[in-house]
């Protein structure tokens, strides 16, 4: 095979080689390289994953038996507030931004993000926001009294957040942390959109762009329209608390419903902000391990864009029990049900991609299979909840908790784990251990199903969420005990992953450029990629440039419309 | 797939299904009134449609994974590359749209049947006010005010007497949820929401607050007593009387009354016919006629009442009633007094 420009890269030695440790730290602190920033996002998010998971374990221990006194109600309320806030703002968003930061420029053949310094700023302000949130544990009244950690729920409904009902500073920590993380998110989203629109390599028309950058484009646009109202709401809440404004302060005539609208205008698109990157990983990984091109690329793009638009009109399905009236309810039932159509198209296209392939059951693909089944169930329970009367019964119950953990863990976290195993060789130059990976997969899969399958049932049996204890005799006891055991399995699986990542970094097999025999541009550069990514900016003629090089007799470009 | 996985799955499925349809006091799938029953019907429809979709899609996925797995004997050639098919993609767009339209129309019918039907003249009204962390019930026609235990007449489907709940909140948002009677409805400050229930059989229906409302959200329980029309009328009549004022032959209760009226109790509690007219806490006029205290979690016995008055936070941490720091004697006589408020 003749060498083509696309496979060439700067073969420079690692810049950090032979440097003093202090210089290495300095270099990471001051870096504007998209790959290093991406990695810092991922490491910081993994730390918060472990913290947020630990909080979940404490809650499951408390709820494992009825009338338990493991933690006090005050501590429990702080735990679920911190768990939700951490997992959404300081685990989910940063880890997905980190993956995007690392992958988007590589996959579109660019040398860096459009605004490298803005990129560094966005990371550091998000990291600071996370530290600020956890500083609340020691910022208030001492460690075990659990300081003044927020206890108003991650949704922070008015008027529980007003000065009257939430004196002290716990709510302020929450407000400021979310506000700052919002600034970071908007910065990163701006950067991703600009990078994708302006920095694609030669020949990469939008219609030839891999699906991962496409989905990051839609996700970043959603961040603008979703996070901005949330940021505005944080400002309004702070004005209420400190300058006597009356937006949400019901004691002075403010509106609790107004906060719900602001929050869910953010909160529902946020679900798609988190899940679109998960789809993005699936779109890259499933074809490679099925050895087939993505089925229906234009349909996948169209479905993603329409999910982006429809997701903006479904927020009030979180408010079916707030008394919207029949007309309002009916509209939001319709909007919510409609979103299942493009989502269904995605599942069917993945199925069609697998169909007729040669499926390789490596660890990334195993996690993707988990993703497919679990996302299917998550979508179907979502359809159930979109039927408003069903939602009147089961909203704010454990059924909803089970449903959205199916989305957030069953779909997003499984997809993320898959992405870790898939791109780890690119990032480190080492393969991750398949044996440990399988341990991780099975522990986590069993734990996931023990926890979240069984969690649907106490919801049907009338168990509300956010309660720190319950009486025996409602039929909830056995189920909660099983759920607790599942949580411990999941924690064990996650620890195997962390161990695998560290172990493989030192002891793993060398990966080479392209260990999975994949087709997108990031696999054309050395592992790990040099700081400027591409020695010569690549030129592409199709959606799968490496396929064309590997199969010159049957290039992709012949088939693309 | 190993057999143990299938067996395990079958076992969990039967466990899940078994408990979901079991007779427990708050089971959504065990409706006892019209709104809950029409929701149950819709739920079963939605469940069966989604179950069919699940079986088809999951079956196809499973088949594809087994049929198209890479075998060691396979050749090294890549499989045929298929880029898409307009007909297939159109079909899996149109069929889901048809399913969505069906579901939407059915759902709309249930919404309108629950939220947009006129209120019958025979309906009874109750005003529900949510408090941190208890419920206040007011019967506007008879003037009865009570707390935490809602009494309603049963509703005969032939001549329905549903109870219309007009709901608001005194502080933060709460949510009224008695799963066997109806879906939940939020109580939001500065806003009036309504819902209705029509229990068909006498008995006690349990539920609890479903909207996170602060420290003791977990112990803001709901008890609805559905009574025959005669029993209900008798209950209203008894609740309408002012509180007992004289306690002949019970000097402890008489002394307890005096202690109660001299302490801060009266700032928060009402005892009808006395100087106690506070509205922050539950109305105590007929406290002894209730089965529970502290909004459900504690049986109403003299011992529990005494412990409660001594320091509510040991029984219900986060309760807004302060410890009154009474001495043992005062505690005893106050308990004696409260136990007489039938």
What is the per-residue pLDDT across B201-258, written as a single tens digit (0 to 9) for each? 999 999 999 999 999 999 999 999 999 999 999 999 999 999 999 999 999 999 999 9
Q: Please determine, for residue A145, whether its predicted confidence score (pLDDT) is greater than 60.
A: no
Closest Cα in chain B, distance from residue A536 (Å): 30
Closest Cα in chain A, distance from residue B187 (Å): 8
Cross-chain CB nearest to B110 (options A389, A454, A468): A389
Tell me if B39 and A393 make a contact (CB, 8 A cut-off).
yes
Give the largest CA-CA distance in chain A.
76
CA dist., res. A525 & res. B98, Å (int): 47
Closest Cα in chain B, distance from residue A186 (Å): 30
Tell me if A393 and B215 make a contact (CB, 8 A cut-off).
no
Contacts of A349 in chain B (CB under 8 A): 89
Tell me if B16 and A354 make a contact (CB, 8 A cut-off).
no
Does residue A520 contact residue A545 with C-beta atoms inside 8 Å? yes
Q: Please determine, for residue A81, whether its predicted confidence score (pLDDT) is greater than 60.
A: yes
| The predicted structure's pLDDT at residue A389 | 96
Tell me if A323 and B93 make a contact (CB, 8 A cut-off).
no
Contacts of B29 in chain A (CB under 8 A): 460
DSSP character string of B236-277? HHHHHSPPP---TT-HHHHHHHHHHHHSTHHHH-B-TTSS-B
Dihedral (CA of A415, A417, A422, A424) sign: positive
- The residue that leads in pLDDT, B3 or B117, is B117
Does residue A461 contact residue A395 with C-beta atoms inside 8 Å? no
Give the pLDDT band of residue B72 (cuts 50, 70, 90). Answer: confident
For helices A170-198 and A211-243, the axis angle rounded to 10 degrees is: 150
ipTM for this model: 0.94
Looking at every residue in chain A, the average pLDDT score rounds to 93
Other beta carbons within 10 angstroms of residue A253's beta carbon come to 9
Tell me if A559 and B83 make a contact (CB, 8 A cut-off).
yes
Of B290, B295, B292, B269, residue with least CA distance to B134: B295
pLDDT tens figures, A349-398: 999 999 999 999 999 999 999 999 999 999 999 999 999 999 999 999 99
Tell me if B68 and A358 make a contact (CB, 8 A cut-off).
yes
What is the chain B residue with the closest CA to A321? B185
Closest Cα in chain A, distance from residue B33 (Å): 13
B 232-261 residues inside an 8 A Cβ radius of A: none
Phi–psi pair at A229, nearest 5 degrees: -60, -35
Phi–psi pair at A77, nearest 5 degrees: -65, -35
| The predicted structure's pLDDT at residue B15 | 67
Tell me if A554 and B81 make a contact (CB, 8 A cut-off).
yes
What does the pLDDT average to over A64-70? 95
CA distances in angstroms from A224 to A59, A123, A259, A336, A372, listed in the order given? 34, 17, 19, 21, 28
pTM of the model: 0.94
Tell me if A384 and B47 make a contact (CB, 8 A cut-off).
yes
Contacts of A359 in chain B (CB under 8 A): 64-65, 68-70
Tell me if A359 and B69 make a contact (CB, 8 A cut-off).
yes
Tell me if B88 and A352 make a contact (CB, 8 A cut-off).
yes
Give the pLDDT band of residue A554 (cuts 50, 70, 90). Answer: confident
Cross-chain CB nearest to B184 (options A347, A392, A457): A392
Tell me if A321 and B186 make a contact (CB, 8 A cut-off).
yes
Cross-chain CB nearest to B216 (options A73, A341, A462): A73
Closest Cα in chain B, distance from residue A328 (Å): 11
What is the chain A residue with the closest CA to B84? A296
Tell me if B19 and A395 make a contact (CB, 8 A cut-off).
no
- The residue that leads in pLDDT, A6 or B329, is B329
CA dist., res. B71 & res. A276, Å (int): 32
Contacts of A461 in chain B (CB under 8 A): 19-20, 22, 24, 26-28
Task: Tell me if residue A100 falls in helix, strand or coil.
Answer: helix
Q: Where are the alpha helices (DSSP H) in A31-92?
A: 34-64, 73-85
Q: Note if the bond before A59 is cis, omega within 30 degrees.
A: no
Tell me if B74 and A352 make a contact (CB, 8 A cut-off).
no
| The predicted structure's pLDDT at residue A147 | 67
CA dist., res. A427 & res. A142, Å (int): 41
B 34-63 residues inside an 8 A Cβ radius of A: 36, 38-39, 42-43, 46-47, 50, 53-54, 57-58, 60-61
What is the chain B residue with the closest CA to A454? B16
Of A407, A412, A101, residue with least CA distance to A277: A412
Closest Cα in chain B, distance from residue A554 (Å): 10
List the single range of A134-143, A323-332, B309-318, B321-330 with lowest mean pLDDT.
A134-143
Q: Please determine, for residue A14, whether its predicted confidence score (pLDDT) is greater than 70.
A: no
What does the pLDDT average to over A226-247? 95
pLDDT tens figures, B79-110: 999 999 999 999 999 999 999 999 999 999 99
CA distances in angstroms from A40 to A32, A142, B64, listed in the order given? 11, 30, 38
What does the pLDDT average to over A244-264? 95
Provide Rg for chain A, Cα atoms: 24
| The predicted structure's pLDDT at residue B76 | 82
Does residue A257 contact residue A325 with C-beta atoms inside 8 Å? no
CA dist., res. A386 & res. A338, Å (int): 10
pLDDT tens figures, B111-128: 999 999 899 999 999 999
What does the pLDDT average to over B129-134? 96
DSSP label of A110: -
Closest Cα in chain B, distance from residue A272 (Å): 20
Domains annotated on chain B, with CATH: 3-68+83-115 (1.10.287), 124-235 (2.60.40.420), 251-338 (2.60.40.420)
What is the chain B residue with the closest CA to A558? B83
B 185-204 residues inside an 8 A Cβ radius of A: 185-186, 188-191, 193-194
B 266-305 residues inside an 8 A Cβ radius of A: 297
Tell me if A341 and B65 make a contact (CB, 8 A cut-off).
no
Cross-chain CB nearest to A333 (options B85, B107, B208): B107
What is the chain B residue with the closest CA to A71? B317
What does the pLDDT average to over A397-424? 97
Of A242, A248, A229, A354, residue with least CA distance to A292: A354
Phi–psi pair at A138, nearest 5 degrees: -110, -5
Strands (E), A312-364: none
């Amino acid at each position: 095979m003749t060498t083509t420009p696309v496979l060439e890269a700067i073969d420079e030695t690692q810049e950090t080689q032979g440097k003093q440790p202090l210089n290495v730290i300095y270099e990471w602190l001051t870096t504007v390289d998209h790959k290093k920033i991406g990695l810092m996002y991922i490491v910081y998010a993994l730390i918060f994953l472990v913290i947020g998971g630990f909080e979940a374990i404490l809650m499951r221990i408390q709820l494992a038996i009825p009338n338990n006194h493991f933690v006090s109600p005050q501590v429990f309320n702080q735990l679920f507030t911190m768990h939700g806030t951490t997992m959404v703002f300081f685990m989910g968003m940063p880890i997905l931004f980190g993956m995007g930061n690392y992958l988007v420029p590589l996959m579109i053949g660019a040398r860096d993000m459009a605004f490298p310094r803005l990129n560094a700023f966005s990371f550091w302000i998000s990291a600071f926001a996370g530290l600020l949130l956890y500083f609340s544990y020691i910022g208030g009244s001492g460690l075990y009294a659990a300081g003044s950690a927020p206890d108003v729920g991650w949704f922070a409904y008015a008027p529980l957040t007003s000065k009257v009902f939430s004196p002290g500073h716990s709510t302020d920590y929450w407000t400021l942390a979310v506000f700052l993380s919002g600034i970071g998110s908007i910065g990163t989203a701006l950067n991703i959109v600009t990078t994708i629109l302006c920095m694609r390599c030669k020949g990469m028309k939008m219609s030839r762009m891999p699906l991962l950058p496409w989905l990051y484009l839609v996700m970043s646009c959603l961040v603008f329209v979703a996070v901005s109202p949330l940021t505005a709401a944080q400002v309004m809440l702070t004005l209420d608390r400190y300058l006597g404004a009356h937006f949400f302060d019901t004691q002075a005539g403010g509106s609790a419903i107004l906060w719900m609208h602001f929050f869910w205008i953010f909160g529902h698109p946020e679900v798609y902000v988190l899940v679109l990157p998960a789809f993005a990983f699936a779109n890259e990984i499933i074809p490679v391990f099925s050895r087939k091109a993505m089925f229906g690329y234009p349909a996948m793009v169209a479905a993603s864009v329409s999910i982006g638009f429809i997701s903006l009109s479904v927020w009030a399905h979180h408010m079916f029990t707030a008394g919207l009236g029949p007309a309002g309810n009916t509209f939001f039932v319709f909007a919510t049900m409609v979103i299942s159509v493009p989502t269904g198209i995605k599942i069917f296209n993945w199925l069609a991609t697998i169909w007729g392939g040669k499926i390789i059951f490596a660890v990334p693909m195993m996690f993707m299979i988990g993703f497919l089944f679990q996302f299917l169930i998550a979508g179907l329970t979502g359809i159930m909840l979109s039927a408003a009367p069903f939602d009147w019964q089961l909203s704010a119950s454990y059924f909803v908790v089970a449903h959205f953990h199916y989305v957030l863990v069953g779909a997003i976290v499984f997809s993320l784990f898959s992405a870790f195993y898939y791109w780890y060789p690119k990032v480190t130059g080492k393969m991750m251990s398949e044996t440990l990976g399988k341990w991780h997969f099975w522990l986590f899969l069993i734990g996931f199903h023990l926890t979240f399958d069984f969690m649907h049932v106490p919801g049907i049996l009338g168990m509300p969420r956010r309660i720190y204890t319950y009486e025996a005799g409602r039929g909830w006891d056995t189920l909660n005990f099983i759920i607790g055991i599942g949580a411990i399995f999941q924690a064990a699986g996650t620890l195997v992953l962390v161990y695998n990542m560290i172990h493989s970094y030192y002891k793993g097999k060398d990966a080479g450029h392209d260990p999975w025999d994949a087709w997108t541009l990031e696999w054309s550069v050395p592992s790990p990629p040099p700081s400027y990514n591409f020695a010569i900016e690549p030129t592409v003629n199709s959606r799968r440039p490496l396929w064309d090089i590997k199969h010159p007799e049957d290039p992709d470009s012949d088939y693309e419309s | 797939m190993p057999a143990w996985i299938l067996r395990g799955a079958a076992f969990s499925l039967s466990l899940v299904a078994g408990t979901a349809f079991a007779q427990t006091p708050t089971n959504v799938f065990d409706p006892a009134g019209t709104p809950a029953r029409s929701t149950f019907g819709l739920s079963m429809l939605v469940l069966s449609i989604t179950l069919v979709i699940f079986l088809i899609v999951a079956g196809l996925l499973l088949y594809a994974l087994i049929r198209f797995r890479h075998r060691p004997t396979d050749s090294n050639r890549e499989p045929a590359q298929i880029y898409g098919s307009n007909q297939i993609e159109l079909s899996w767009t149109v069929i889901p749209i048809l399913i969505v339209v069906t579901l939407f129309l059915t759902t709309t019918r249930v919404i309108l049947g629950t939220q947009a039907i006129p209120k019958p003249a025979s309906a009874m009204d109750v005003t529900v006010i949510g408090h941190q962390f208890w419920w206040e019930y007011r019967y506007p026609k008879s003037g009865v005010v009570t707390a935490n235990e809602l009494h309603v007449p049963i509703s005969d489907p032939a001549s329905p007497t549903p109870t219309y709940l007009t709901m608001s909140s005194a502080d933060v948002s709460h949510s009224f949820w008695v799963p066997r009677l109806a879906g939940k409805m939020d109580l939001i400050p500065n806003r009036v929401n309504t819902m209705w229930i029509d229990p068909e059989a006498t008995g006690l229906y349990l539920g609890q607050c479903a909207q996170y409302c602060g420290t003791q959200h977990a112990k803001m329980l709901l008890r609805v007593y559905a009574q025959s029309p005669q029993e209900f009328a008798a209950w209203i009549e008894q609740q309408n009387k002012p509180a007992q004022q004289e306690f002949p032959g019970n000097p402890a209760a008489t002394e307890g009354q005096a202690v109660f009226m001299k302490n801060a109790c009266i700032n928060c509690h009402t005892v009808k016919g006395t100087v106690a007219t506070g509205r922050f806490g539950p109305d105590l006029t007929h406290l002894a006629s209730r089965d529970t205290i502290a909004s459900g979690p504690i049986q109403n016995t003299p011992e529990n009442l005494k412990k409660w008055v001594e320091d509510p936070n040991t029984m219900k941490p986060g309760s807004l009633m302060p410890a009154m720091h009474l001495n043992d004697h005062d505690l005893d006589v106050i308990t004696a007094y409260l136990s007489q408020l039938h």
